[in-house]
Structure 1
Amino acid sequence: MSGVSEQPFLDDLALSLEEAWRLLVSGSKDRKSPLHTPSVATVQNNGSPSQRIMVLREAAREDRILRFNTDVRASKVVDIGDGGPVSILGYHPEAKVQLRLSGLGRIEHNSSAGDAAWNEATLYGKRCYLADPAPGSPVRAPTSGLDPAVEGRKPEGFEVAPARENFAILLIEIDKIEWLYLAHTGHRRALFTWNMDNSKWDGQWLVP
């Protein structure tokens, strides 16, 4: 027998939430997962939205935290400030699940968590933060922003060490998850909101 009921989580709010976090955690670890590179949106000072694709580095369900690496000079850092709203959108075609998440973001630069993330990063990853001038700066000709001495090759550790000053992490404390399962036999949609008073997720079915 075919149909959405073949997936137990599709008719169970708790299992749907489990599936959402399972996909996020997997996405943070698996480079081939579509959820490894979701769209992350912030709000600029003029009120307009700003989106970009980012690499999901960590998903910690117990803390409701998603972590991304960023350049401290990037515009999103200004958007978020001391704590600004952030929205994340990802779609996993094989799982047939779309996730829309939102919460408050914060930037950590010189912190133990920032140091740990820096130490985790590859030499190629660290090289990105050597860009000069800062990301988003207008230039007269196309450029990577990298010094030709390190462009096009794997750098040495001492060469990327100065980039630590530009490296930061974006931590987003998730307080809302909208889960959508797409199927020709019938979609499923649910909304999960973090209940601060009871320290738990409140779930509700929605019409897809």
Structure 2
Amino acid sequence: MNQPNEPTATIGDTDRSLADLERDTWQQLSAALSQDKDGFKTMTLATSTNTGADARTVVLRQVDEVHKYLWFHTDARAEKVIQLEAHPNATLLLWDENRQVQLRLHIETRLHTDDYVADEHWENLWVGGRKSYLSERTPGSEQPAPYPGFPEHLGENLPSEQESKAGRINFAVIECRVLIMEYLHLSRKGQTRAQFQYEPVGKMVWLAP
């Protein structure tokens, strides 16, 4: 329950305090894991490079609401892995069209390849998800002709459980510790922007849109 005279923002038809927005947003991130068409299911990862910046889309794979962590998967040979090893701090950008909500998550990343974290994620990944990790070629490498990203003999078929195991060596998990979450809700009635800082000191504040 909101405290008397506590500032609130109207989201939809409901008045939400900063604490409400923060809690609701993490619950929505968790719920997105089981909803293929949820706007929060995919994220734009922005990384730093030695010459500037880079960005690409990644898929949300796991959420820890309590400790403020997210995880996504990648090919261990991908350029973003090299970038994150050199510059572990990055940004995740999420947009949900239905909610009209944008999230910017400032994160600190950690790579998992040969440990129990990567093993657990791999075991929970179905063979369709494992298919792209069977690629014999490094992501982003030049090719003489179009290449589908997995052994061409598979075509539209899925690998068997046994065949899929060969992709484990190329599989990596990126753990994202959320340092700051910025929330922006768009509405004709007015925009709502807030910031939730977790590290180094916990703080919630309203921001001008």
- TM-score of the superposition, structure 2-length normalised? 0.90
Are residues 1:119 and 2:126 paired?
no
- The whole-number CA distance in structure 1 between the counterparts of 2:199 and 2:109 is 18
* Match for residue 25 of structure 1 among 30, 33, 36: 30
Question: Does the CA contact (< 8 Å) of 1:4 and 1:183 recur in 2?
Answer: no
- The whole-number CA distance in structure 1 between the counterparts of 2:47 and 2:87 is 11
SS at match of 1:94: coil
Match for residue 88 of structure 1?
A: 92
* Match for residue 65 of structure 1 among 52, 55, 69: 69
Match for residue 6 of structure 2?
A: none
Instruction: Give 1:44's aligned amino acid.
Output: T
SS at match of 2:168: helix
* Match for residue 38 of structure 1 among 37, 40, 43: 43
Match for residue 208 of structure 2?
A: 207
Instruction: Give 1:98's aligned amino acid.
Output: Q
Following TM superposition, by how much is the alpha carbon of 1:29 offset from its aligned partner in structure 2, in angstroms? 2.6
- The whole-number CA distance in structure 1 between the counterparts of 2:28 and 2:56 is 20
What is the RMSD of the two structures over their aligned residues, measured on CA atoms?
1.6
Following TM superposition, by how much is the alpha carbon of 1:167 offset from its aligned partner in structure 2, in angstroms? 0.3
- The whole-number CA distance in structure 2 between the counterparts of 1:39 and 1:148 is 28
Question: Does the CA contact (< 8 Å) of 2:194 and 2:207 recur in 1?
Answer: yes
* Match for residue 4 of structure 1 among 10, 17, 21: 10
Instruction: Give 2:73's aligned amino acid.
Output: N
- The whole-number CA distance in structure 2 between the counterparts of 1:84 and 1:185 is 38
Are residues 1:104 and 2:105 paired?
no
- The whole-number CA distance in structure 1 between the counterparts of 2:74 and 2:175 is 10
Match for residue 184 of structure 1?
A: 188
Compare 169-178 and 87-96 and name the one that shifted more: 87-96
Question: Does the CA contact (< 8 Å) of 2:48 and 2:87 recur in 1?
Answer: no
Question: Does the CA contact (< 8 Å) of 2:39 and 2:98 recur in 1?
Answer: no
Gaps (5+ residues) in structure 2? 1-8
SS at match of 1:20: helix
Compare 146-155 and 69-78 and name the one that shifted more: 146-155
Instruction: Give 1:43's aligned amino acid.
Output: S
SS at match of 1:81: helix
| CA shift digits 1:34-93 (9 cap, x unpaired) | 1101111111132x1111111100111112111001110000100111761111111112
Instruction: Give 1:206's aligned amino acid.
Output: L
- The whole-number CA distance in structure 1 between the counterparts of 2:32 and 2:123 is 20
Length, aligned pairs only: 200
- TM-score of the superposition, structure 1-length normalised? 0.91
- The whole-number CA distance in structure 1 between the counterparts of 2:14 and 2:64 is 25
